[in-house]
Structure 1
Amino acid sequence: MKLAVIGAGPAGLALALLAAERLAGADIHLFDTRALDRDIRGDARTLALNLGSIRLLQRLHAWQPDAAQAIQTVHVSQAPPAPIAGEVWIRAAEQGLPQLGAVLPYGALVAPLQQRWLDVAAQRPRQLFTRFATPVHAIRSQAGGVALDCGEGPVVDSFDLAVVAEGGVFAEQDRKAITRDYHQNAWVGTVRLAAPGLQGLAIERFTRNGPLALLPLPDDAQGPRAALVWCLPQAEDDIATLNDAQRLAVIQQQLPAAAGTLTGISPLKCFPLGLNAETRLLQGRTLRIGNAAQTLHPVAGQGLNLGLRDAQALVDALRDAAETGAGLDAALARVDWQRAPDRWPMIAATDFLARSFAWRLPGLPALRGLALAGLELATPLKRAVARRMMFGG
């Protein structure tokens, strides 16, 4: 089989490595628009990985635990004023696990994955091809596969299968079959914390206007810090007009006591938020995974984890097809329907939560608080929710 992987972000690199490991005899071409010599190690964008994703990266020999901060506890709560505050505590120890997930910079994830790919490709130069600085302008269906239009010239090559793994933020993407503009902004950056910091605690706070999250990061020379994701409606978003002290004061007021004291804040970047998803992963011999298949609101922090599970499911199906002699089209169809029970509940849940913050129904805060309080008391249900967040459906 001849496979084209388009996009060398986390999902694309993981897919290429999995395919190289498990699909004996496959020719794999990894495309990306960026140059190979571009240093990505300093990319500080924050990523949250669940335990299932960490285990996948460990199997691929591309996990660097020293660059990540483990999450041992997740605290979800609702900010006042609310008739019922409600809160949920999910602890790794209660699940019998060492951690629930981890937080790390984008560069600390992609750089090891890319280096691992280059090392494996160097050992199999006739099967594994690194085609960076090569944008794919179009994918054309043809009998038995696809052909790619690249920056190298006209149609450069034919493939049995093309997998699109290019990500990007909502505002930069072409619209897919299902799209919804939430008219919300995500403000992202880092905050400084008074010692001892969050120490493995991730906080999700439901405020009147939207979710506010603090994710623990490894301490640096200046002490404890955390990644900030702050979602606000565009019609009521005046964050750009506030100075650092004012931003800190507003955030501190919204956070629970468990967050401790904020002592500083970095410059914040702003991204419009929306839902952008394909109804199906597969179109002919082109399949989409990760953000190329579904771009979600960050309220649950599950977008990348979903993409990595897409990659795993595809390679598993291709390997099973090769071992049983089943056709490629049957294997791809299997992936398409097999991923639905994992994709659609996550798409629906994040869409509902994102839209609910725009609703000004009088009883909604009380219902949200009651749901959190009920989940905290319903131990089996809380355990099931925790397992789904760690390993998917």
Structure 2
Amino acid sequence: MTAHLQTFDVAVIGGGLVGKTAALALTQGGLRVALLAQPCAPLPAGAAFDARVYALSASSQALLERLRVWQALDTSRLGPVYDMRVYGDAHAELHFSAFQASVPQLAWIAESSLIERALDAALRFQPNLEWIDTRAQGLDVKPDGATIGLANGKVLEADLVVGADGAHSWVRAQIGSKVIRRDYKQTGVVANFKAEKPHGETAYQWFKDGEIVALLPLPDGHVSLVWSARTEHADELLALDPAQLAAEVERVTGGQVGALDCVTPAKGFPLALQTVDRLVAPRVALVGDAAHLIHPLAGQGMNLGLRDVAALADTVAGKEAFRDLGDTVLLRRYERARREDIRALMVATDGLQKLFSVPGPVARVLRNTGMAFVGAQPLLKRWLVSAALG
């Protein structure tokens, strides 16, 4: 006879930031939750900062505050963004200011591991949550519940399964949600540096020859690089030693923050646009990268995933007493709540990536004229800031 774990209200499959935030939000909402995930791995010995950082918007901060995670973060490792300067390829420039937009900050730059460790600590204090450190390998959805077979031979049952298992989601494959993926033929190269000059809590972004280079402010005079480079160029960047990479970043950024000293070795990850034909199925909902992938040029991918979590938690909290957690009618409310936001960001980021990838003088004139126009419209700039804040 197959050994069974106890029945849960929700099983969250996937243990990144989005999955752990979903598990915390749902268990704090009074539900019994199983989380199929592992705790965050410690930073490598001697590492100053995690290579992977996120620009968290006001909506993400609000969700983490609601879950009492934000208050537990080490503020000395958070970098506020008060200004953002975007440079085109013909001396065009856009300046976004938190002061002009009447907001406390445009974003917070935070290390992935910083947030994940705080989530892990919060999850350990949840009496209605059970960590399950094994892989799911079978999903059987029935009218009265979902059964998940585990790699250790055990089985668990849940009313709702949340797929937060990334771009190559196993959960998504089980429900037959169709994926449309377009490879940008680019790799995101990330690394951290100690900067010679103060960054002034300013995020910088350069559009150069179809590639995008961003320097994001970190505490104590450090900056984080996100370079969206053509894959063959990215391979060359990743092959450089730390000093050579620092010199190349100094060159392409015009020494904006002075000499650079690489403190976190470079890593790369492939960039793609990915959409799915549905976010839900009976007893299943997708969140985060399992539901969508966008270009990182606006730094909104993680914020989009956390807004998925907020919407799902709100949808579940607002369900009628007679309705089951896995009811398709309920889950479609979540899907409808997310479609517009996801589509708008996909269109915006994909459109910008295409616009700055088109070669030739005519395209250059058009895009830089557009940047100059936006820069001269205070109301439009404020609307763009509002949209980015979520």
Correspondence for 2:24 among 11, 17, 27: 17
8 A contact 1:233–1:358 mirrored in 2: no
Residues 69/176 of structure 1: CA separation in 2 closer, same or farther (3 Å cut): farther
Aligned residues: 367
- Aligned partners of 2:112 and 2:333: how far apart in 1? 31
Match of residue 193 from structure 2: 191
Deviates more, 1:363-372 or 1:248-257: 248-257
Match of residue 162 from structure 2: 163
1:1-393 map, 5 Å: 2-22=9-29, 24=30, 26-32=31-37, 34=38, 36=39, 39-40=41-42, 44=50, 45-63=52-70, 64=73, 65-79=75-89, 82=90, 85-119=91-125, 121=126, 124=127, 127-131=128-132, 133-153=133-153, 156-167=155-166, 177-195=179-197, 197-219=198-220, 224-237=221-234, 238-240=236-238, 242-255=240-253, 259-265=256-262, 266-322=264-320, 328-391=327-390
Residues 214/301 of structure 1: CA separation in 2 closer, same or farther (3 Å cut): same
Deviates more, 1:285-294 or 1:268-277: 268-277
Query: What does the per-residue CA deviation read over 1:40-77, in whole Å, with 9 as the maximum and x for residues that have no partner?
Result: 46681212211211121122111213321111111111
Shift of 1:293: 0.8
8 A contact 2:355–2:367 mirrored in 1: no
- Aligned partners of 1:21 and 1:118: how far apart in 2? 12
What is the one-letter code of the residue matched to 1:49?
A: L
- Aligned partners of 2:375 and 2:196: how far apart in 1? 28
8 A contact 1:176–1:278 mirrored in 2: yes
Residues 158/17 of structure 1: CA separation in 2 closer, same or farther (3 Å cut): same
- Aligned partners of 2:228 and 2:333: how far apart in 1? 36
Residues 129/267 of structure 1: CA separation in 2 closer, same or farther (3 Å cut): closer
What is the one-letter code of the residue matched to 1:276?
A: Q
Shift of 1:321: 0.9
- Aligned partners of 2:274 and 2:268: how far apart in 1? 18
Query: What does the per-residue CA deviation read over 1:333-352, in whole Å, with 9 as the maximum and x for residues that have no partner?
Result: 11111211100011122222
What is the one-letter code of the residue matched to 2:101?
A: Q
Deviates more, 1:328-337 or 1:174-183: 174-183
Query: What does the per-residue CA deviation read over 1:187-238, in whole Å, with 9 as the maximum and x for residues that have no partner?
Result: 110122113x21311111111131100011111xxxx210001111124553
Residues 73/256 of structure 1: CA separation in 2 closer, same or farther (3 Å cut): farther
Query: What does the per-residue CA deviation read over 1:314-360, in whole Å, with 9 as the maximum and x for residues that have no partner?
Result: 11111111468587322201111121110001112222233344432
8 A contact 1:169–1:271 mirrored in 2: no
8 A contact 2:356–2:367 mirrored in 1: no
8 A contact 1:289–1:310 mirrored in 2: yes
Percentage of identical aligned residues? 28
- Aligned partners of 2:18 and 2:147: how far apart in 1? 22
- Aligned partners of 1:49 and 1:380: how far apart in 2? 23
Q: What is the TM-score when the length of structure 2 is the normalising length? A: 0.86
Query: What does the per-residue CA deviation read over 1:361-389, in whole Å, with 9 as the maximum and x for residues that have no partner?
Result: 43122222112111111111111110110
8 A contact 2:80–2:107 mirrored in 1: yes
Residues 243/300 of structure 1: CA separation in 2 closer, same or farther (3 Å cut): same
- Aligned partners of 2:147 and 2:300: how far apart in 1? 32
- Aligned partners of 1:176 and 1:115: how far apart in 2? 36
- Aligned partners of 2:276 and 2:53: how far apart in 1? 25
- Aligned partners of 2:322 and 2:252: how far apart in 1? 56
- Aligned partners of 1:180 and 1:168: how far apart in 2? 12
Unaligned runs of 5+ in 1: none
8 A contact 2:168–2:290 mirrored in 1: no
8 A contact 2:189–2:238 mirrored in 1: no
Shift of 1:240: 4.2
Q: Per the alignment, in what secondary structure is the counterpart of residue 370 of structure 1?
A: helix
CA RMSD of aligned residues (A): 2.5
